[in-house]
Amino acid sequence: MGTTINELAKICGVSRTTVIRALHGEGRISDETKSLILQKAKELHYQPNLVARSLVSGKSMILGIVVPDLHNQYFPKIVDSVAKTVNAEGYLLNIMVHEDDKENEKRIIRDFIGHNVDGIIINPINKGADFEKMMDNLPVPHVVMSLDDLADGPCVGIDETAAGEAATEYMISKGYRNLLFVAPSLYDRDHQLNIGHHCRLEGFERAAGKAGVEYEILSVQEYAQQAVKRMKKKDHPAFLCSGAMFASEVMAALRDKGYKPVQDYGIMSFDQLDYYKNWSPRLAAVDNHPEQIGEEAGKLLVKMCRSEDTAERVVVPFQIVEGESL
């Protein structure tokens, strides 16, 4: 345990209140006692007990963010960006991972509340009325990083459906007439719809339908092998992968069989990762701007923490990044 205000008061021969006035630099206090207290405080390495402060104030100047994991680059980028944004506003960011465990996600939210975080950012894997009710009843503001999950509350994200559509149109414009949507993650382990990926698929189907081109959906776990098999048709297909890692796996599998991008097939992915920028050929992709999502989410949450503003819906633009893989 470190030095406390009480100890400082005793040592300086003054009352708690006086110590506080010195520490906070406000209220009527003589320069003399003030500097004495400040000096002693420094001497004894006084550090305020933030827990006690939080108990009194009900606030903590901490914002919480829960994400599934930090495996791929998407969430790390978001989290990093949120941290930077809220730090600049005087908040600390408490980052937690739930490892794709729904109970864990709920537990973390409860823990956040129990620890008096001032607000929560989340991209929930929990679905359903019960969960929505739980979120609605939170005593602190929260921002959802998805436009389609908890539909009515404040949220920020890209329009996944539009992105799916735009990506598909881009592939079609490149001359591809046989499209495949690669998404082993359309459903989570509890067979519940993964809305983000589903919206992308919806956009894909819409664009493909509009253009009247053939399309298939590869939603199995063995999508890479399936992609290899699919090549036997020799119809120069194009794969739209709902995640950069999927694209990477597909390309690797096809390369192993001697198929070459552009020459034999086209491929494009969601998520634009730094790691791929030096790939050869460079992957065409939808950049979903994680840094911007993080920044907007952070800004929105801080704003909500300060004023009791209500719902706001921030649509972050996506961007088609041309590559050499189509």
Partner DNA sequence: GTGAAAGCGCTAACAT
Partner DNA sequence: ATGTTAGCGCTTTCAC
Q: Which residues bind DNA (CB under 7 A)?
A: 1, 4-6, 13-18, 20-21, 23-24, 27-30, 32-34, 48-49, 52-53, 55-58
From DNA, a copy of itself, none, interface partner of 16 (C-beta below 5 to 8 A by class): DNA
From a copy of itself, DNA, none, interface partner of 93 (C-beta below 5 to 8 A by class): a copy of itself
In the complex, the residues that contact a copy of itself under the rule CB under 8 A are 1-2, 45, 47-52, 54-55, 58, 60, 62, 69-71, 73, 76-77, 79-80, 83-84, 87, 92-97, 99, 104, 108, 110-111, 113-116, 137, 139, 245, 248-249, 251-252, 255, 273-280
Contacts of residue 88, Cβ cutoff 8 Å, sequence gap at least 6:
none
Separation CA 29–CA 47 (nearest Å): 21
Which is closer to a copy of itself, CB of 140 or CB of 183?
140
Give least dist CB 92 to DNA, A: 16
Which is closer to a copy of itself, CB of 10 or CB of 277?
277
Which is closer to DNA, CB of 28 or CB of 234?
28
- Kindly tell me the sign of the dihedral angle through the C-alpha atoms of 165, 80, 133, 102: positive
**For tokens 């007439």, what's the residue?**
177
Q: Are 108 and 138 in contact (CB under 8 A)?
A: no
Which is closer to DNA, CB of 45 or CB of 232?
45
Here the tokens at position 8 are 């400082």
Which is closer to DNA, CB of 17 or CB of 192?
17
Which is closer to DNA, CB of 116 or CB of 248?
116
CB atoms within 10 A of CB 55: 11
From a copy of itself, DNA, none, interface partner of 4 (C-beta below 5 to 8 A by class): DNA
From a copy of itself, DNA, none, interface partner of 245 (C-beta below 5 to 8 A by class): a copy of itself
Give least dist CB 42 to a copy of itself, A: 13
Q: Are 148 and 300 in contact (CB under 8 A)?
A: no
| Cα separations in angstroms, 208 against 175, 217, 236, 255, 269 | 12, 12, 16, 26, 16
Q: What is the DSSP string of 101-126?
A: -HHHHHHHHHHHHHTT-SEEEE----
Separation CA 267–CA 251 (nearest Å): 8
